Amino acid sequence: MTQHHLLGRTERELLCLQRRSFIQAAALWTGLGGFGAALAEERSNVVELQGDVLLNGERLLPQQFIQTGDTVETGPDSHLVFVIGDSAFQLRQKTRLVVERGTTLNTCSVLELTSGAVLSVWGKQTQRLLVTPSMTAVVAGAAVYAEVVPGQDGLSYLCNCYGDVRLSAGTEKIRSHAEHHHAFWGEVEARGGHFLTPAKNFNHSDEEVEFLARLVAQQPAWKNAQQRSAIQRA
C-alpha cells in the first residue's frame, strides 16, 4: 500500500477495496457494462454494501438504487460503494452524505458531507460541488477524498487526489491542480490568518482511488504519467 498517515481511522478501513468480495463485485459491475447497463436493466447501482446503511432513513438493501436527491448514512463498521452516472463514491463508517440532484435524475450537482468521510471520482463533463461544514470544492474530472473531523467544530480535510479543484473556505480561495495528492485543512475560524492550510495525505490510499476510478472507466493521473514515462523511455 502507498504511504499514508492514519488519523482517527484504522488500516482495516483503508483495505476495504482490496478484499476479495469487493474485487469480485467490481469485476462484475464493469463486466456487466457499468452504470448505463445497470440503469437500462433496472439493476442496483450499489457495487458493495457492508454493515448497516440507511437510505433516506430506511435500511438500504443491496438490490436498491441510490438516486440523486437521496440521503445516505453508514453505521459503525459499515462501508458503501455506489455509482451515479459518471461518478463513483465510497463512504466510510459513520458517514452522512446528501446527494443533491443536478440537471437530470442521474447527475449529481452537490455532495453535502455533514459527517464521516467520502472518496469520490468525478467525470469530466460537468462541474459539481462537494460541501463540508467548513469548505466548498468545485470539482470536474477529479478524484477527491473529504472527511469531517469528529468533535472539532466542523474542521474538515480535503485531498485533491488528482485533477483540478477550486477550494473556498471563509474568505479564502485556492485553485488546486494535482497529479498525485494535494491536501488541505478547512477551518471554520481562521487559523494564523488562513482558512485553508496544507495537510498530509491522511486516511486514504492510491489503491483505493485506482479501484474506484475503474468503476467509471477512469485512470488516475499518476497512472497516465507512468504510461507517458514508459513511452518516452521506449
Calpha distance 214→204 (Å, rounded): 16
Calpha distance 140→181 (Å, rounded): 16
Calpha distance 170→25 (Å, rounded): 41
Calpha distance 25→28 (Å, rounded): 5
Whole-number pLDDT of residue 226? 55
Q: pLDDT by residue for the chain (234 residues), tens digit each?
A: 555 688 888 888 887 877 888 889 999 999 999 999 999 999 999 999 999 999 999 999 999 999 999 999 999 999 999 999 999 999 999 999 999 998 888 888 899 999 999 999 998 877 899 999 999 999 988 999 999 999 998 999 999 999 999 999 999 999 999 999 999 999 999 989 999 999 999 999 999 999 999 999 999 988 776 543 333 333
For the full predicted model, state whether its pTM sits above 0.85.
yes
**Domains in the chain with CATH codes:** 11-233 (2.60.120.1440)
Q: What nine digits make up the cell of 60?
A: 438500504
**Bridge pairing between strands 172-178 and 58-59:** unpaired
Whole-number pLDDT of residue 113? 98
